């Protein structure tokens, strides 16, 4: 009886080992794939790389966007800076929005929602958060009072120091409106009124040159009086 049991155990062990060897073998026939076009895209799918793409560099379906193109939802900010930092942005980016009462009023509302808790309603760094966590600078003091609009825009987008990025909370157009109002606070002013003459000049490109929000290049040049003969 014991001999039969031992024989049975040995036979089971042999069969089990054979099954493991067969299951681990790489020589199994995977069978036929039914309707492969349903699983593998015939066109070049940018998010799927099945085989080497013979048309694109490096054989990849995805290609870097052409320089100067702007992704959807990113209008108002030229992503192609010479260096991706606030200093370069300050030198290379200009506010594409006209300085109007409407834009300043909207900028003030957005500033009060997203910026005033730290920077204070008057930009003096004495917001409720700024009072508790010391070190929030005043917009009218020192180097901060001279920061250009592009620098401020970059800091709003990506943050700096203890300030967290706000790019996911305000879109590019809203950021430029905040920049416009912050620059008002840099001068120690909290008003939003712009004279009708100044608004008309801005819209016509008479007194200021505004940049195209997509390319960052000037849309117009200052008007000059025609010399009299």
* Banded pLDDT at 225 (limits 50, 70, 90): very low
Q: What gap in Å lies between CA 170 and CA 174, rounded to an integer? A: 6
Distance of CA 5 to the CA centre of its chain: 72
pLDDT of residue 76: 54
Q: What is the number of other CB atoms lying within 10 angstroms of the CB of residue 108?
A: 22
In a domain, 30, yes or no: no
Radius of gyration (Cα) for the chain, nearest Å?
32
In a domain, 200, yes or no: yes
Q: What is the number of other CB atoms lying within 10 angstroms of the CB of residue 41?
A: 12
Domain count, the chain: 1
Taking alpha carbons only, the member of 171, 158, 154, 180 closest to residue 97 is 180
In a domain, 92, yes or no: yes
In a domain, 34, yes or no: no
In a domain, 168, yes or no: yes
Q: What gap in Å lies between CA 215 and CA 69, rounded to an integer? A: 8
- Residues 82-136: tens digit of each pLDDT: 888 899 999 998 898 999 999 999 999 999 999 999 999 999 998 988 888 888 8
Q: Supply the range of the domain harboring residue 187.
A: 86-204
The CATH number of the domain holding residue 161 is 1.10.760.10
pLDDT of residue 155: 93
In a domain, 130, yes or no: yes
């Amino acid at each position: 009886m014991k001999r039969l049991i031992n024989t049975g155990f040995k036979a089971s062990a042999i069969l089990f080992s054979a099954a493991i060897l067969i299951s681990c073998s790489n020589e199994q026939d995977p069978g036929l794939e039914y309707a492969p076009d349903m699983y593998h895209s015939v066109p070049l799918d940018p998010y799927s790389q099945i085989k080497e793409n013979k048309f694109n560099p490096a054989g990849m379906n995805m290609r870097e966007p052409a320089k100067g193109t702007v992704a959807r939802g990113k209008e108002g900010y030229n992503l192609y800076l010479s260096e991706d930092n606030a200093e370069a942005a300050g030198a290379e980016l200009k506010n594409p929005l006209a300085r109007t009462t409407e834009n300043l009023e909207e900028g003030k509302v957005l500033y009060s929602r997203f910026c005033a808790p730290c920077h204070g309603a008057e930009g003096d760094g004495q917001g409720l958060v700024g009072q508790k966590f010391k070190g929030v600078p005043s917009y009218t003091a020192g180097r901060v009072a001279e920061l250009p609009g592009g620098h401020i825009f970059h800091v709003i987008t990506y943050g700096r120091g203890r300030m967290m990025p706000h790019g996911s909370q305000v879109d590019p157009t809203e950021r430029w409106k905040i920049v416009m109002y912050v620059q008002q606070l840099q001068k120690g002013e909290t008003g939003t009124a712009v004279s009708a003459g100044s608004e008309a000049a801005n819209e016509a490109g008479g007194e200021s040159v505004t940049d195209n929000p997509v390319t960052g290049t000037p849309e117009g040049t200052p008007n000059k009086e025609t010399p009299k003969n």
